[in-house]
Structure 1
Amino acid sequence: MSTTLTHHDPGTGSGPDTGTGTDDQEAAAPHAHPSGPPGERPSRSSAARRLLGLAGAGLTRTVAVLVLLALWETAPRIGLADRVFLPPFSEVAVAWWELLADGQLWDDARASLVRSLSGFGLAVALAVPLGLLIGWYKRVADLLGPLLEVFRNTAALALLPVFVLLLGIGETSKVSIVLYACTWPVLLNTISAVRTVDPTLLKLAQSMDLPPWRLFQKVILPASVPAVFTGIRLAGGTAILVLVAAEMVGAKAGLGFLINNSQFNFAIPQMYAGILTVSALGVAFNQFLVALERRFTSWRTAA
């Protein structure tokens, strides 16, 4: 025969006859959420607020564009603009779709993108290291400074006939003119970024006896990235604009050729369709560079 011993602690009131377990359950019962888990309603409300915020931000960013398109559609129809030279936006959209459907728009856009991205990539690969050297080493700046001053004040389109004469009307001249035009925003912003690094950071790094290459890696490069990307974004817009102008001079394909050829043939809706395509590509490329900048400067945005 076994005997079960029940321990009773008078200080806690947890014995079998105290009834405090039932009281504790009744006291805790009102705190339970009547309709589900405690965090369900706050999470739903925060998600709804987030969606409303995103919708409001999207509407704010697109309302000006929608108003412009509405004015573009109505102005020619009510006689505020000559419909021959400014057709309604709906006609331009139809012409854009027809160009896309028969493949002409895609071929021209691909030709322009290959040329502009080639020149842009070469400019970034050349200008960023050169800008770091000029900004950091005074002797290099003294050697190349006068030469850079001469060329950076010479407009790229002013040199377009020279590029055509020396390199012909093929792909080389077009990529070269984009390379020339894109080099200066990247180069000048990189030089400025290196020269405006916080002197306190440099003194702290030098007090730690860092070698020059570690100083570049740990201080100069991270501090220069935001300004360098500003130059890269400026060069991205320049690449497409300069290329379109170059394609109007001598080309058999490309968005510049499409715009120029449509003007000569008096195909005005197709001309505006090409212009809109150039604008869309410029906006998309800029957004890509913005996302890339956020990726490389995540430490800065998080702060």
Structure 2
Amino acid sequence: MSSSTLEQVTPADGGAAPAGRRPLTGPPRKGGGTGRRIFRSSIALILLATVWELAPRLGLVDRTFLPEFSVVIGALVDLAVNGQLWQHVSASVGRALQGFAIAVIVAIPLGVLIGWYRPVAQYLNPVLELFRNTAALALLPVFVLILGIGETSKVALVVYACTFPILLNTISGVRTVDPLLIKSARSLGLSPFRLFQKVVLPASLPTIFTGLRLSAAASILVLIAAEMVGAQSGLGYLIMASQLNFQIPNMYAGIVSIALVGLVFNAVLVLLERRFSSWRPAGDS
């Protein structure tokens, strides 16, 4: 083969690319795709902040009751600098995490039992349906009367609000495992424990994590309402005290803080889901 023929061979033909030349195609750059995704997901937030900033300035709303977004961010920074924000955030997050952790410890094993063993479901379903349709905030006076106005009643209310989303999604996840997977595992001679460990639990994880994310949001919302009723610290207390003292920027700063805490909770759960579901294809996570 002559040298002129060798120069015409390309990587697609199985040969190496000639020296000094770049291949016509290459792997897509991940950085650009990630940047575009972040930009697209931020457009709605940027528009919301812009509308919030312009509406009071243009006189569309009274800035006394809805100050500019920049003013709210300034109040948020001031609360962070003087330490009040961290005091209230740590109080709320501590209560929410305690209640959420107890709900996870109780609801996931109970959901597995109900989903895997039909007799257990027949006994417990009537009670679960009764309490599932009772709003957590409707029971707030009951928790206060029985457990007092201190920390115990607030944590117990969070446990109640978080339990049912986790429980119901765990039951659904266990019951909707592909029967073909279970039959295949049994045909390989797996014991019931190994069957549950290797097949049922991994297949149920996406649905269980959906319940965890719903419960994380519920824990914050219910706790804020409880702190508004009776508390001396927490974001709910901050919002209510700021409204009563007509410190409107501080009130909105507390509301923004709740949204940020919720985003952090959700992001942590998404990372955990990806960690425990690493066996799944990237497009399914």
Q: Normalising to structure 1: TM-score of the pair?
A: 0.85
Of 33, 43, 47, the match for 2:19: 33
Alpha-carbon distance, 1:165 to partner: 0.8
The runs of 5 or more residues in structure 1 that have no matched partner are 1-19
Match of 1:279 in 2: 259
Of 222, 238, 243, the match for 1:258: 238
Alpha-carbon distance, 1:29 to partner: 7.3
User: What is the alpha-carbon distance in structure 2 between the residues aligned to residue 67 and residue 183 of structure 1?
Assistant: 36
Matched, 1:195 2:195: no
Deviations 1:47-100 (A, max 9, x none): 4xx333222222111111111111111101111001110011111111111111
Deviations 1:249-279 (A, max 9, x none): 1100000000011011110000000000000
Aligned 1:27-176 pairs, distance under 5 A: 32-34=18-20, 46-47=28-29, 50-176=30-156
Q: Which moved more, 1:200-209 or 1:90-99?
A: 200-209
User: What is the alpha-carbon distance in structure 1 between the residues aligned to residue 257 and residue 157 of structure 2?
Assistant: 21
Number of residue pairs matched by the alignment = 275
Alpha-carbon distance, 1:208 to partner: 3.1
User: What is the alpha-carbon distance in structure 2 between the residues aligned to residue 102 and residue 116 of structure 1?
Assistant: 24
Matched, 1:296 2:276: yes
**Percent identity over paired residues:** 55
For 1:192, what is the secondary structure of its paired residue? helix
Question: What is the root-mean-square deviation of aligned Cα atoms in Å?
Answer: 2.0
Does the 8 Å CA contact 1:73/1:89 hold for their aligned counterparts? yes
Deviations 1:18-49 (A, max 9, x none): xx9xx76x8767863237xx57x966x844xx
User: What is the alpha-carbon distance in structure 1 between the residues aligned to residue 40 and residue 186 of structure 2?
Assistant: 48
Alpha-carbon distance, 1:233 to partner: 0.7
Q: Normalising to structure 2: TM-score of the pair?
A: 0.90
User: What is the alpha-carbon distance in structure 2 between the residues aligned to residue 53 and residue 184 of structure 1?
Assistant: 38
User: 2:73 corresponds to which letter in structure 1?
Assistant: A
Of 180, 192, 195, the match for 2:160: 180
User: What is the alpha-carbon distance in structure 1 between the residues aligned to residue 205 and residue 31 of structure 2?
Assistant: 33
For 1:300, what is the secondary structure of its paired residue? coil
The runs of 5 or more residues in structure 2 that have no matched partner are 9-16
Which structure would you say has the larger Rg?
Answer: 1
For 1:176, what is the secondary structure of its paired residue? helix
Match of 1:207 in 2: 187
Does the 8 Å CA contact 1:294/1:301 hold for their aligned counterparts? no
User: What is the alpha-carbon distance in structure 2 between the residues aligned to residue 46 and residue 215 of structure 1?
Assistant: 40
